[in-house]
Amino acid sequence: MSTLVNRRARFTPYMLLIPATAVLLVVIGWPLIQLFIISFQEFGRAQVFGAPAPFIGFENYTKVLGDPAFWNVMVRSILFCLVNVVVTMVGGTLIALLMTKVNRFFRLLLSVGLLLAWAMPALTATIVWGWMFDTSYGVVNYALTNFFGLDFHAHSWLINPLSFFFVATVIVVWGAIPFVAFTVYAGLTQIPDEVMEAAQLDGARSTQRFRLIVFPYLKSIFLVVTILQVIWDLRVFTQIYALQGIGGIREQTSTLGVYIYQVALGSGEYGIGGAIAVITVFFMMAISLYYVRQSLKEEQL
């Protein structure tokens, strides 16, 4: 009797996983297979409307890998991603630490502010930020010129690629910090007070306490959040795409997500766009696998 219950209990989790797996296979797996097939085909706008799509082997891939524009985009995306992940993680963690220190009222105020920033759709946020940084009528130029005496009259924030990515970073980080802050704050509340108290009595300074106690406790949380941030920031689309519509030079500001869109949907080169997307998928999988393996290794120690 008991073995039967055990066996049933053993299978229950897998039974419950079936619907999720099935949906994932249909919603993500099938398009992924399609993408993979298209990346080996000559697939333009005529093929979308039913013309036959011939297989052309690795031609799309050699075209992409031989195109300096692709490598520029790749390097740009990685740099943008690194800066954003670092700023987001540091900012988010600092806000989480702040939330443990302030009283209930301010904690609530902070939470509400973070939630509102988080709830704002990326497109809406980008357009509003775009207005603030507007060349002719933006509040940022107005404030810098009138309150700080700097000459920012009709200053274009987006025309210089570095300045463009500064604005993009502000928007992306602003939108991503709430997730990091809430997750890290949730982790911080789990650290036993006794341990922190003991460390304090032993004379550990606050930086030492963070480095030697808080960080090891929250290591797995930091790992997961960082991987998620890397993936999100590497494939960032909405903010860059909307900003490019407001100003700036596309060729100098495209990141991977936007570049795939421009090649595939903008120029009607679905095959080549597919190849870039497949390369991106493998690149992101490699990053994730590396981190997962690192964390597994450490768990075994």
Partner 1 sequence: MRKLSFVALAAAAAITLAGCAGGGTKTPAADDGPADIRVWLVGTDTPQDARDYLKTTFEKENPGSTLTIEEQSWTGLVDKLTTSLSGSDSPDVVEVGNTQAAAFTSSGAFLDLTDQYKALGGDDLLPGFVEAGSYDGKFYAAPLYSGSRLVFYKKDALAASGLTVPTTLAQYISNAEKLAADNPGKSGLWWPGQDWYNALPFIWENGGEIATFKDGTWASQFSSAGSIKGLEQVQELMTKASTAPKDGNETNPQVGFCEGTTLQLSAPSWVKWSILAAADAETPGCPDQESNLGVYALPGADGGAGQVFAGGSNIAVSAKSAHPGLAVKALKIILSDGFQTIYGKNGLVPAKVSLASTLGTDEVAKAISSAAGNARLTPASPKWADVEASGALTDFFVQIAQGGDIPSLAKALDAKIDGILNG
Shortest separation between residue 143's beta carbon and partner 1, angstroms: 18
Closer by beta carbon to partner 1, 198 or else 292:
292
**207, HSE (Cβ side, Cα atoms, 13 Å):** 0
Residue 127 is classified by DSSP as H
Residues 6+ apart with CB under 8 A from 218: 184, 187, 188, 191
Decide: is 91 part of the binding site for partner 1 (CB under 8 A).
Answer: no
Number of residues engaging partner 1 in binding (CB under 8 A): 41
Closer by beta carbon to partner 1, 51 or else 286:
51
- The tokens describing 24, both together, are 């994932």
Query: d(Cα 282, Cα 270) in Å, to the nearest integer?
Result: 18
> Can you spell out the DSSP letters for 59-85?
HHHHHHHT-HHHHHHHHHHHHHHHHHH
Among 5, 16, 119, 296, binds partner 1 (CB under 8 A): 16
Shortest separation between residue 29's beta carbon and partner 1, angstroms: 13
Binding residues among 47-86 for partner 1 as defined by CB under 8 A: 48-51
Among 128, 154, 186, 292, binds partner 1 (CB under 8 A): 154
Binding residues among 115-144 for partner 1 as defined by CB under 8 A: 135-136
Helix (H, G, I), strand (E, B) or coil at 55: strand
Closest CA to 289 of 227, 226, 233: 227
Decide: is 201 part of the binding site for partner 1 (CB under 8 A).
Answer: no
Among 11, 128, 266, 286, binds partner 1 (CB under 8 A): 266
Query: d(Cα 120, Cα 43) in Å, to the nearest integer?
Result: 36
Query: d(Cα 299, Cα 301) in Å, to the nearest integer?
Result: 5
Shortest separation between residue 204's beta carbon and partner 1, angstroms: 31
Torsion sign (Cα): 98, 101, 106, 108: positive
Burial status of residue 43 (CB atoms within 10 A of its CB: 0-12, 13-18, 19 or more): buried
Decide: is 13 part of the binding site for partner 1 (CB under 8 A).
Answer: yes
Binding residues among 276-295 for partner 1 as defined by CB under 8 A: none
Shortest separation between residue 154's beta carbon and partner 1, angstroms: 6
Stretch that binds partner 1, among 20-28, 115-123, 166-174, 185-193 (CB under 8 A): 20-28
Query: d(Cα 79, Cα 76) in Å, to the nearest integer?
Result: 5
Shortest separation between residue 228's beta carbon and partner 1, angstroms: 16
Decide: is 249 part of the binding site for partner 1 (CB under 8 A).
Answer: yes
Torsion sign (Cα): 228, 229, 230, 232: positive
Closer by beta carbon to partner 1, 110 or else 246:
246
CB atoms within 10 A of CB 98: 14
Decide: is 19 part of the binding site for partner 1 (CB under 8 A).
Answer: yes
Stretch that binds partner 1, among 76-84, 119-127, 214-222, 240-248 (CB under 8 A): 240-248
Among 7, 8, 11, 26, binds partner 1 (CB under 8 A): 26
Q: Where along the sequence are the contacts to partner 1 (CB under 8 A)?
A: 12-13, 16-17, 19-24, 26-27, 44-46, 48-51, 135-136, 154, 156, 158-159, 244-252, 261-262, 265-269
